[in-house]
Chain A
Amino acid sequence: MARIRITRDAGGNVSFETVAVVPTDTVFFINLDTQAEHQPDLISNKLGKSPSPPSSSAQPDPSGTKSQVVYKCLIAGHGNESGTINIFPQLTATNQKLAAATKGQPIAQQQVVKGGMSPYQISNEVFEVVDAAGNVLQSGPGIGPGLQLVPTPNNKGVFVKGTPTVSGTYHFTFEVDDGMQKNLQQVQYSMIVT
């Protein structure tokens, strides 16, 4: 869910916020402009003067195909007022079972998180490397000896790269918050290293 606040500064300029959402999100318009009513064309009902009734929520793109929606005010005299809603795919985990790797050999970079919006903030990385019998060989913070997470700066998700240095099965997880403040955590990843 995102909130879009419509405000008026001391100079009389009305500001329509830019927000980012996922396709299933609902946006709420909050009209904090005490002087004027607004009617963003995303919703056909009028936003009254602050605090404005009646409904102000809508799904920006019910078709689920657009990456950006520009909303404008339809009321006479407010035609130049507009804001932008950027739409990104859902933040989701992928490749929870990573391709097998060889100890000491660089791995092919693989994606572990897709969708969402940059920047991706990584935290709470934790790993275990276990042998075939399930005995824990190593554990601690990070995603395992020799491996690193690579958040992309261009909304392309998060990748794993590096050169594993221990034989066994790497198990790891991490938490990620993206630029829309969507969150993933406790997703379990594994990679067999021989």
Chain B
Amino acid sequence: MKISSGKILSLGAIAVVVVALGVSFLTPPASAQLGSKELVNPPEIRSDPAKKRLREVIELVNGQFKIPGVETTQLRQFRGRNAKPEVPAGTISPGPTLRARLGDQIQIAFLNKTDRTMFPFTYVTGRDKPPPPPFSSLGCDKSGLPDGNGKFPYPAADIYPNCFHGSTTANIHYHGTHTSPDGLGDNVLVQVLPDDKQRDWIPIFNKIFDTGKIPQTWEDLPQDLRDAQLDLVKKRDAEEKAENLKNDLPEPESMLKANLERIAAHQWPQYFIGAFPNIFDLPDYSSGKVDAGQAPGTHWYHAHKHGSTSLHIRNGLAGALIIESSQEGGYDHFIRKAFGWGDRYEKHEKILIFQQYDPIQNLERPSRRGGKGSNQVLVNGQLTPTITMRPGEVQLWRMINATEGNAAGIINAGNFKNGLFQTTGFTFVQTAQDGVQFSPLNYVNQPFLNCKIPNGAIPPDDPVPNGLILAAANRADLLVKAPATAQNARIPFNSQGVTLFFVKVEGEPVADQSFPDTWMEMPKFLQDLPKPGPHDITNPGSPVKFQWEKDRTGTGPNPDPPHFMINKKQFGETGPIVDQCMPKDGLQDWVLENYTTQIAHPFHIHINPFQIVEMFSPMLDKTYTPKDNYIWEDVIAIPPAKIGDDGKVIPGRVIIRQKYPDFTGTFVLHCHILAHEDRGMMQLVRIVPREKYPTGCQDHPPAHH
């Protein structure tokens, strides 16, 4: 397949070339694609503009759900209690879309109502006695038949906690938010255990929510909530201990003991039973109260329990978090005004959440390969749905790669590969990446669509050298304009030759819709970060090296799968140690390096986005060094390494620039191929007050994962 044609998209005086492929789907059969249903945006709940808050109950439930084209099977799902429309029983869907505005407060009652008897072989705590590190494989999920030495095909050589485990436990990560990582904020170190017969927590949570004040410490929570939770943890401890003794297993770690130790140290406990309230603000830069605001845009949320992030994402435990601008001139106000869409996007907006649904991990299959569900990508839980557009119509597509990132043949090594935006007759312009709007220059130059960025794992002989690639967890907003005339057939939008969805162009043409010639200026806090100077504290943890054990660079078992590491260490391997510590308001450049071949590891860090200052792909022998207008992202696929002629590893490299305003706290960075994260490719990160740097870096880091 060769690049056969180009299309000129005029944006003012500057031409943008969008590469087009000459492929067979240009004249699809008239019948394509019978049975394809209209794409449905996920259920949604909006913030209350009068109260400036978004309040919702998100329930984690399990049951029999149909994966289109695969089977009806036991899955876990997020459901919004008040989001509309309701998802029909037995139908898979992303979680409810949460739509808020800058300045709103997010108030989510998260209820884990999983029936744990349906998933009984998955522990949340280690089983070694006494608790190390290092742990053994005790505590890891096991599958398959043990060999003569009692070794199971899974976990093979994996070691707790860096193995698949604890899938009945969950939490919610609000990916892309600039908020507190501690307490009731974007806290992924909290572990909410299942309780399918739980009490009604909503009244007690609402007592917190109604005040609008975010509890800063455990002691700020209502006494009845604290008492009830500690009592439940104590009871769960006793149950787990009894079960273990009944089955001749070592006594598990005590969750109550761990909680009480944390509380005594004036830290937040990590274990909750059945329910957890998330409450945090979406800081509005225009308020003048913050040093950096929340970027308005397409963000998302997903479960983030270490050991089960990948299985949870395969269950579809993710949803969109749309944060809109708060005033004229802001991102959403500008776009809607440009097209006369009024105060809401309504039918002009499509949310496309790409997911793989599979109830089982690849490594837990006898073949260690993905099943049918792993190898098909659904959009909003639908198999190859259809988007309908009128001729000449413009829509805003918000695209979220919520896959695990390793579907062979469709998403290679964490990336959506090219194809989607090369469909003849349509024109596209990207307006944001990872929920951060483009600068005017990037809007005009379109660096992703015009193949300027060596993003991800692109082999040298790939027919298309680059283009818009969504690594796992990347988002992109695009304005899409339909062809000027109606089309007989649905047009397939493909990735790697596989159709993800169709577009049907029919009805009366829409006149005079064209992309804006000029683009909005960046808010001040999203303008280029300055280069760190001699007075800025450098990061001793840089470069951040994504790697396997020594002398291992290629993929595949040997005979066991490799250990996933950052800087020669798996997550928590040496105990509760903060791996990366930064001073509040610090400004730093980090080097990210990938020492594995064939796989681009998508680097993700919570709480603050970063700017891409430089990228180098050794496979392409291509370097991206923009002079300015650095693109903001919160996930960047680090290009894979290459073995040089001398046998030495030439790592893929990215340089990011980031600042740490507004919030202190403890969180994580990790590979967003979530099976890699579960299996150790993660670091504990902390921002401390400047006066406590570095003395406060190792002050009671969370020990339990």
Which residues of A line the B interface, CB within 8 A?
1, 3, 24, 26, 28, 30-32, 37, 43-45, 48-59, 62, 124, 126-128, 130, 134-136, 169, 171-175, 177, 180-186, 188, 190
Chain A residue, CB-CB nearest to B30: A134
A24-B371 CB under 8 A given contacts A55-B142, A128-B31, A190-B31: yes
Cα A1 to Cα B32 in complex, Å, equals: 31
Q: Which residues of A contact B117 (CB under 8 A)?
A: 30, 32, 50-51
A188 and B33 contacting across the interface, CB-CB below 8 Å: yes
Bits for B136-150, please: 1 = Cβ < 8 Å to A, else 0: 000001111110000
The answer to whether A182 and B121 have CB atoms under 8 Å apart is no
Q: Decide: B249 and A53 in contact? CB cutoff 8 A.
A: yes
**Listed A/B pairs (5) with beta-carbon separation below 8 Å:** A26-B365, A28-B121, A31-B120, A55-B143, A171-B34
Whether A186 lies near B142 (C-beta < 8 A) is: no
Question: B146–A181 contact, CB under 8 A?
Answer: no
Task: Determine if A181 and B143 form an interchain contact, defined as CB atoms under 8 angstroms apart.
Answer: no
Which chain A residue lies CB-closest to B366?
Answer: A59
Question: Is B34 touching A188 in the complex (CB atoms < 8 A)?
Answer: yes
B interface, how many residues as a size bin? 35 or more
Give the residue of B35, B141, B367, B489 whose beta carbon is less than 8 angstroms from that of A186. Answer: B35
Chain B hits for A127, CB < 8 A: 34
Give bound CA distance, A1 to B311, whole Å.
Answer: 14
Contact assessment for A188 and B32 in the assembled complex, using a CB-CB cutoff below 8 Å: yes
If A26-B366, A126-B34, A128-B34 touch, whether A183 touches B146 (CB-CB below 8 Å) is: no
Interface: B261 (CB within 8 A): no
Whether A186 touches B69, Cβ cut-off 8 Å, given contacts A26-B366, A30-B118, is: yes
Contact partner, B360, options A26, A169, A184, A186, Cβ 8 Å: A26
When C-beta atoms are compared, the residue in chain A nearest to B127 turns out to be A53
By a CB distance below 8 angstroms, the chain A residues around B36 are 186
Q: How far is the CA of A174 from the CA of B247 in the complex (A)?
A: 49
Interface contact B366-A1, CB-CB below 8 Å? no
Q: A136 to B64, alpha carbons, bound, how many Å?
A: 38
Supposing A180-B71, A183-B67 touch, asked if A173 and B366 sit within 8 A by C-beta, the answer is: no
Contacts of B64 in A (CB 8 A): 181
For A49, the closest partner residue in chain B by CB is B246
Interface residues of B (CB under 8 A from A): 29-36, 64, 66-74, 116-118, 120-121, 141-146, 152, 243, 246-249, 359-360, 364-367, 371, 383-384, 488-489
Contact, CB under 8 Å: A181 / B73: yes
Q: When chains A and B are docked, how far (Å) is the Cα of A75 from the Cα of B126?
A: 28
Q: Which B-chain residue is minimally distant from A127 (CB atoms)?
A: B34
A100 CB to nearest B CB, Å: 16
Min CB distance B474 to A, Å, is 27
Whether B35 lies near A185 (C-beta < 8 A) is yes
**Cα distance A128–B31 when bound, in Å?**
7
A188 touches B248 (CB 8 A): no
A58-B360 Cα distance, complex, nearest whole Å? 12
CA distance A111 to B669 in the complex (A): 53
Known: A58-B145, A172-B34. 20 other contacts (CB 8 A): A26-B365, A30-B118, A30-B120, A37-B247, A43-B145, A45-B145, A48-B249, A52-B247, A53-B249, A55-B146, A55-B152, A126-B35, A134-B29, A134-B488, A180-B71, A181-B64, A181-B72, A182-B71, A185-B35, A188-B33
User: Are A183 and B70 in contact, with the CB atoms below 8 A?
Assistant: yes
Assess whether B30 is in contact with A186, with CB atoms less than 8 Å apart: no
Q: Which residues of A contact B71 (CB under 8 A)?
A: 1, 180-183
Cβ-closest chain A residue relative to B33: A186
Residue ID in chain B nearest A51 by CB atoms: B120
* Residues of A with C-beta under 8 A to B365: 24, 26
Which residues of the partner chain B approach A169 to less than 8 Å between Cβ atoms? 31
Cross-chain contact B74 with A53 (CB below 8 angstroms): no
